[in-house]
Every structure is written in structure tokens, then in C-alpha cells.
Structure 1
Amino acid sequence: MATATSVTRTDQDLRNDVLDELTWDPRVSPTGVGVIVTEGVVTLTGWVDSYAARWAAERAAHRVARVRAVANDLGVRIAPSAQRTDAEIALAAERALEWDAFVPVENLEVTVADGRVTLRGPVEWEYQRRAAERVVGRLTGVRGVSNGITVQPASRPGGDELPERIVDALVRSGATEPDRVSIQVYGDTAVVDGQVHSVTERDEVERIIWSAPGIREVHNHVTVTG
């Protein structure tokens, strides 16, 4: 069992790595960002000037090896020159979604209140749900995004062989060693357990499972061991 002294030393090293990664990412201005690390769990505090920077800071922290999880408590303060009315943001969101070939905008509903965008409606694939949030989150003046889009596949999962096909996809991508995770499929729900080396690896495993035809829900119980 690690002593309190060794944990503190490791957490301090990890904090320094996260701060360096935030400085390295040109999308993030780390001046207003605080980093707290407790037993491998990173908490981001402070303020950034856009929702896109908030998201980028979170992803930067996830990229650091040995980070077990990230709590994003960053607030968004929009500079006066970047402020937009809710009507302007709503119109920009509609246009941005229309321009994105991967997002079926005709099925989506966009609501904006105090700079915070709420997305609702069905899509066929998880990547479309994530793409919609990413596209809207990059818009000037957006303070936050609530993604209420649901995944409703047009087809059903492909029988008992689907877990094996998912494992094959993991092997092809090199996302993780296949013996580190186990996958079960119950109807249109996939459950994955196991241990991986990083949060990024965990997210990539989940992304690949979401790509399986007919999957409507993924329960990711994979833990990060560092």
C-alpha cells in the first residue's frame, strides 16, 4: 500500500504534467486554470474564455498518463467582444449543424438560454450525437452545452457474434489488449469491464463499442490502473 508521502509526491508530479499539457495546448490559456490532483484524480478549477477552451482543457488533462479521472469545475467567462445574444447563438447553431455532413439536423431541436445550448432529438449513431455537441460547443458566445440527444439505431445488434466482432475491432485499432477487457451484449446494450492504462484508452474502447451496429447504450465499467 502506498504511503501518504508517496501518493502526495506522485500527485505533485502528475499536477506538473497536467499544467505542462495545458500550456502545450494552444486552445487553452492556462493562466486562469487551477489543477488539483488527489490519488490520480484531476480537478480543474478557475475560468476560461469559451466553452471550447473548457472542453480542450478537459481533454488535455485526460491525455496525461496516469490520470485516472477528471472533474471539470472550470467556469466560462465570455469576453465582451465575443458575447452573442441567445437568438444569434441559436441561429449559428442551426447553421453549423446544417453544414456538418454527419449530423441529421432535421431530427434535432436546439434551445438556447443565457448562452447555454440544449440539444434534443434522435440520431442513429453515437458519433452523430458527439459530433453535434462538438460542432455547437465551438461556437462563439456559447457558455455550455447540454446534450440530450438520444441514440436510436435503425438496425438491431447482429446476434451472438457481435461481442467477438467488437473484440476484432479493438484488435484492429490497437486500442487496448483484448484480454484486458470483457464485453457482453444484452439486446441493444453493451457492457464492458476490465482495466486499461489511461483514460484515453478507456474512451477509445467505448468509442469502438459504440460503432457496433444496433448498439443503443454502453455501460463502461472499465477502470484505469495507470
Structure 2
Amino acid sequence: MKSDVQLKKDVEQELEWDPSINAAGVGVEVHDRIVTLAGHLGSFSEKLAARRAAQRVEGVKGVVVELDVRLPTQDTRSDEEVAGVVRSVLEWTAGLSEKAVKVTVEKGCVTLSGDVDWGYQKKAAEDAVVRLRGVVTVVNQIIVHGNASSGDIASKISAALQRHAEDEARHINVSVSEGTVTLRGKVGSFPERSIACNAAWSAPGVRNVIDQLSIGG
């Protein structure tokens, strides 16, 4: 097992290796294999990239993100401009009309609200917005409507996990309450954790996914 000192070095090197991240703006601390990232970055997408970079490092058990977004002058946009671009992106990439998803922007903070039929649509809406210039953070308040039973949702997710990662599926417990899926158990890596969460979001009737999976090793 890697020591905290070695993990700190590995995370710092991973941040420096990723060309989408200004590693000089990120401070790294590690305690009991939990990585804390602190500092200032120039975009929300860069903040997400830093989190993913830390998660890629073998041996990392968890990541705490305490990074602020400070937009450079050339990326600063008015809230009206950001709202207009967000609206267009949602319609063109996620296929979500103004009737389905409402957009509110305040000081670069984008709030998404409204109603959709599938959980993956809620996730797709957020994924489409996070990389846009002028966005400081994204709050996803979209509500998912679905009438599948809890038992049906759980069985479909379990079947999907078996197809995607049969060995890991044995260690994952899926519980469902009123459309909210909770994943518990242990997986071997962050990519395996991502596979499990994506499988849960794709099931019919899922309104939200709570990830309580731990990383083994």
C-alpha cells in the first residue's frame, strides 16, 4: 500500500501531466489516503479535471475538492450571455427544450431546474454545461419522473452491473427508495465506481443516485 507521502507525490505528478490543468494553482494534501485539493483554477471544467486526475491515481481512497474558480478576464461573460449559451447547448447536445429544463444564472452559477423522464437526461444536462466558458459552478435541481417499481429498478441495475463488470457487481449492493438509488459496497478503482454509477443513472425510473461505494485496495 502506498504511503500518504507517495500518494501526494503521485497526485502532484498526475496534475502536472494533465495539460488541461494549471497544476501550479492546486495544492495537494493527503491524510489516510484521502486527497484534499485546494487553491484557485481558471474554469469549472479545470476544477473537475483536477478531481478526475486525483481519482486516477492508484491507492487514492477519496478526494475532497476545496478549489475556487476564478475566471480570467477573457473568459468572463455576463449572466445573460451564459444563460443564452447554456440554453443552446442543452437543446443541441442533450435534446432538452426550454419547456423541459429551465436555466437560471447568477454570477456565473448555473442552476438547472425542470422535469425530465430519465435520470440519464438529468446527468447529460449537467455534463453539457460544466465545460462552458463563464460557468463558475453548476447546481442541478432537475426532477426525474418515473413510475418503475423499486424492485424493477434494482433488478435492472444489478443486471447491467453484471454485464459491465461481473466481478465487481458481486460486491455492490443496490437499494432503491422512491426512485433514489443508493450504491454501497467496494470496488477496485474509480473507473469501476464510475461504471456502477453510470449503470444506475441509465435505468428507467431512476431520479437520483447516491454513491456510497468505497475504493478497495
**Residue type at the aligned position of 1:74:** L
What is aligned with 1:68? 61
What is aligned with 1:213? 204
Deviations 1:40-88 (A, max 9, x none): 1111111111111111111111122221111111111111111111111
Question: Matched residue of 2:14: which SS?
Answer: helix
**Residue type at the aligned position of 2:29:** I
Question: Matched residue of 2:105: which SS?
Answer: strand
What is aligned with 2:86? 93
What is aligned with 2:135? 142
Distance apart, 1:220 and its partner CA: 3.2
Structure 2, unmatched stretches of 5+, are none
Q: Is the 8 A contact 1:170 1:176 kept in 2?
A: no
Q: Is the 8 A contact 1:176 1:196 kept in 2?
A: no
**Structure 1 CA distance, aligned partners of 2:128 and 2:152?**
35
Q: Is the 8 A contact 2:183 2:211 kept in 1?
A: yes
Distance apart, 1:23 and its partner CA: 1.9
What is aligned with 1:33? 26
Q: TM-score, normalised on structure 2?
A: 0.89
Structure 1, unmatched stretches of 5+, are 1-5
Task: Summarize the alignment of residues 14-33 of structure 1 with structure 2, pairs less than 5 Å apart.
Answer: 14-33=7-26
What is aligned with 2:106? 113
What is aligned with 2:162? 171
Question: Matched residue of 1:22: which SS?
Answer: helix
**Structure 2 CA distance, aligned partners of 1:191 and 1:82?**
37
Q: TM-score, normalised on structure 1?
A: 0.86
What is aligned with 2:216? 225
Deviations 1:65-115 (A, max 9, x none): 221111111111111111111111111111111111443443111111111
Evaluate the alpha carbon distance shift between residue 167 and residue 31 of structure 1 in structure 2; reply closer, same or farther with a 3 A threshold: same
| Counterpart selection for 1:198 from 166, 189, 196 | 189
Number of residues of Structure 1 aligned to a counterpart in Structure 2: 217
Which protein is bigger by CA-based radius of gyration? 1
